């Protein structure tokens, strides 16, 4: 079987990673434009389709499930309410009295007491004073509102189910709106809701105030009151680096951008806002810092995206392995590898000549390349055809075996190690935030695993060949590829050696004997072999069939 040269594989696994890093750095350093509304729209994409209208989350049945029969201090007693009165001392009595159509309750031996219109927080004193006019000595009175009357309220306008709904006079406007299925999010307004009594608007309700500040007008409903939801006003979509991505309603022809962003709630790391505008057949954009929004007005049809750039003046480096210093160090942005090495507090056991550098973006790229190879292999297996029944049966069995191999390979997580040709040349490498520097321990052992009968760890023996270590591991398995054996050095660098070729081993080296897919048995043996190499080099594990 023709093998892919190792240096090509190494280029695939490492060379492309550097290109990815450069591209990533270029993207991070891009500076947003500060053009005003004069520049034609370019390279800006905002998909507002499917965004919810801000406020639509209110009406999911949670308000209508529980009526509010409690009372606020400003509630005014109405006809039909029940007042509990307890008297003790010269006389004792416990009464539950209903407010009659004249607005009175009747207390025996005292007479009618006018309570209609009395505020809840004044009810006890008012009744106590009235009783004391009859009983001046040795009398105590306690009065409270036991329950309010039920009322029927019309809910109309742009709601899901307009109609007449029953509740307590003390229930909130949200209770009645939820009874009617809530505001129609396609047509109704969440900012313009009127409470009408006898053809006169008594109160205006803005549900945005409730969502943002918890402010909801205290309303005491009466029979025949009308809750009218007006038609929805203009809307503007806001997406991006915000807590609330939604369509936001506003009144009038324009609205300050800063006000809409109060509702959208930009995240702490948001830095800029971009507005796309359509006017007279033209498109234009505006980009502003979040600190420069004064005077910026939004109009119907505008679209808003909030973005953020993570501009940091320092980076955090992780130190692991054999050392005596802290696990993390903060360095200025742009610091070189040598500056981090100078901070390492080594111990007597630290191998400072074999430092490793791991980077998350490199691991991510290695994972992407591996997934790409596995996807290609999977497509090849699915697309394979056979002309004979026996061959088709063999291909089916092969597909099951290879599919298991693919599933195991997908679970591998590459380490993201950056390989150094030499430690000296690596000293000028620019570090990235989150990089990990691993300090190996001085090691007098050699690990051997993969396709050997007894994978083990052996004592390093100066001058001995790789074949001697393999013999002490029981020799090759039947599935071993004796032509290509990987040696991973303590510094992470990789060498290959085959039968008949000598390689100098050092303390701490690792020997990996690779498996050899059977070309006669497997149609895609070459592709499988390449993937096995990818996994072994990026994660230091061997996955066989």
Each residue of 16-41: pLDDT tens digit? 333 333 333 333 333 333 333 433 33
pLDDT digits (tens, 9 = 90+) for 195-214: 999 999 999 999 999 988 88
Q: Residue 176 belongs to a domain with what CATH number? A: 3.10.560.10
Among candidate residues 97, 118, 147, the one where a domain is terminated: 147
177 in a structural domain: yes
Q: Which residues, in sequence order, are CB contacts of 142 under 8 Å at separation 6+?
A: 85, 86, 124
Enclosing domain of residue 131: 82-147
389 in a structural domain: yes
24 in a structural domain: no
Q: Return the pLDDT at 258.
A: 93
How is 158-218 classified by DSSP, letter by letter?
SBSS-EEEEEETT--HHHHHHHTT-B-TTTEEEEEEEEEETTEEEEEE-HHHHHHH-----
Average pLDDT estimate for 163-168: 90
Q: Residue 299 belongs to a domain with what CATH number? A: 3.10.560
- Residues 494, 406 share a domain: yes
Instruction: Label residue 237 by pLDDT band (50, 70, 90).
Output: very high
DSSP symbol at 515: E
C-alpha torsion sign, points 50, 52, 57, 59: negative
- Residues 303, 394 share a domain: no
Q: Return the pLDDT at 196.
A: 94
- Residues 486, 394 share a domain: yes
- Residues 373, 485 share a domain: yes
Q: Please give the tally of structural domains in the chain.
A: 4
Instruction: Label residue 503 by pLDDT band (50, 70, 90).
Output: confident
180 in a structural domain: yes
- Residues 401, 255 share a domain: no
- Residues 274, 167 share a domain: no
534 in a structural domain: yes
Among candidate residues 115, 147, 179, the one where a domain is terminated: 147
pLDDT digits (tens, 9 = 90+) for 123-153: 888 888 888 888 877 888 888 877 667 889 9
Q: How many residues does the chain have?
A: 545
CA separation for the pair 58, 178 (Å, rounded): 9
- Residues 514, 405 share a domain: yes
Least confident of 42-51, 108-117, 255-264, 393-402: 42-51
- Residues 383, 273 share a domain: no
Q: Return the pLDDT at 245.
A: 92
Q: Is 34 exposed, middle or buried (0-12, 13-18, 19+ CB in 10 A)?
A: exposed
CA separation for the pair 127, 107 (Å, rounded): 10
Instruction: Label residue 426 by pLDDT band (50, 70, 90).
Output: confident
33 in a structural domain: no
- Residues 489, 373 share a domain: yes
- Residues 271, 192 share a domain: no
Average pLDDT estimate for 469-487: 86
Among candidate residues 178, 196, 231, the one where a domain is terminated: 231
291 in a structural domain: yes
- Residues 132, 157 share a domain: no
- Residues 248, 115 share a domain: no
355 in a structural domain: no
Answer whether residue 310 shows pLDDT above 70: no
């Amino acid at each position: 079987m023709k093998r892919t040269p190792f240096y090509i594989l190494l280029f695939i696994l490492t060379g492309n990673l550097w290109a990815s890093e450069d591209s990533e750095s270029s993207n991070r350093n891009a500076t947003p434009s500060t053009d005003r509304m004069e520049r034609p729209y370019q390279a800006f994409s905002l998909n507002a389709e499917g965004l919810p209208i801000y406020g639509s989350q209110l009406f999911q049945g949670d308000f209508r499930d529980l009526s509010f029969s409690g009372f606020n201090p400003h509630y005014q007693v109405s006809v039909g309410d029940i007042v509990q009165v307890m008297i003790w001392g010269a006389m004792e009595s416990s009464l539950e009295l209903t407010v009659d159509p004249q607005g009175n309750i009747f207390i025996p031996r005292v007479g009618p007491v006018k309570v209609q219109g009395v505020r809840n927080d004044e009810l006890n004193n008012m009744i106590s004073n009235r009783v004391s006019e009859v009983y001046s000595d040795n009398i105590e009175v306690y009065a409270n509102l036991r329950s309010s009357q039920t009322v029927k309220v019309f809910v109309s306008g742009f709601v899901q189910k307009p109609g007449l709904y029953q509740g307590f006079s003390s229930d909130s406007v949200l209770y009645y709106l939820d009874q009617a299925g809530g505001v129609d999010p396609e047509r109704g307004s969440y900012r313009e809701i009127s409470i009408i009594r006898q053809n006169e608007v008594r109160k205006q309700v803005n549900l945005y105030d409730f969502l943002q500040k918890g402010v909801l007008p205290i309303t005491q409903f009466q029979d025949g009151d009308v809750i009218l939801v007006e038609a929805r006003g203009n809307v503007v979509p806001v997406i991006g680096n915000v807590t609330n991505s939604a369509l936001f309603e506003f009144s009038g022809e324009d609205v300050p951008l800063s006000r809409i962003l109060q509702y959208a709630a930009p995240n702490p790391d948001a830095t800029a806002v971009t507005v796309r505008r359509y006017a007279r057949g033209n498109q234009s954009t505006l980009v502003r810092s979040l600190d420069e929004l004064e005077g910026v007005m939004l109009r119907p049809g505008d679209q808003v995206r909030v973005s953020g750039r993570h501009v940091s003046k320092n980076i955090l480096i992780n130190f692991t392995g054999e050392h005596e210093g802290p696990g993390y160090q903060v360095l200025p942005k742009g610091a070189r590898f040598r500056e981090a090495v100078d901070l390492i507090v080594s111990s007597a056991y630290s191998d400072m000549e074999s430092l490793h550098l791991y980077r998350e973006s490199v691991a991510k790229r290695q994972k992407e390349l591996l997934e790409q190879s596995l996807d290609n292999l999977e497509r090849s297996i699915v697309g394979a055809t056979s002309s004979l029944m026996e061959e088709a049966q063999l291909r089916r069995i092969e597909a099951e075996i290879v599919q298991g191999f693919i599933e195991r390979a997908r679970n591998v997580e590459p380490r993201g190690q950056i390989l150094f040709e030499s430690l000296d040349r690596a000293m000028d490498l620019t570090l990235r935030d989150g990089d990990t520097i691993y300090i190996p321990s001085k090691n007098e052992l050699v690990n051997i695993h993969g396709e050997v009968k007894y994978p083990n760890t052996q004592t390093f023996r100066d001058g001995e060949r790789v074949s001697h270590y393999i013999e002490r591991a029981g020799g090759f398995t039947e599935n071993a590829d004796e032509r290509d054996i990987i040696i991973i050095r303590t510094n992470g660098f990789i060498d290959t050696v085959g039968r008949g070729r000598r390689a100098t081993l050092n303390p701490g080296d690792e020997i990996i004997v690779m498996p050899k897919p059977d070309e006669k048995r497997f149609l895609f043996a070459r592709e499988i072999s390449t993937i096995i190499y990818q996994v072994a080099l990026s994660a230091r594990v061997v996955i066989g069939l």
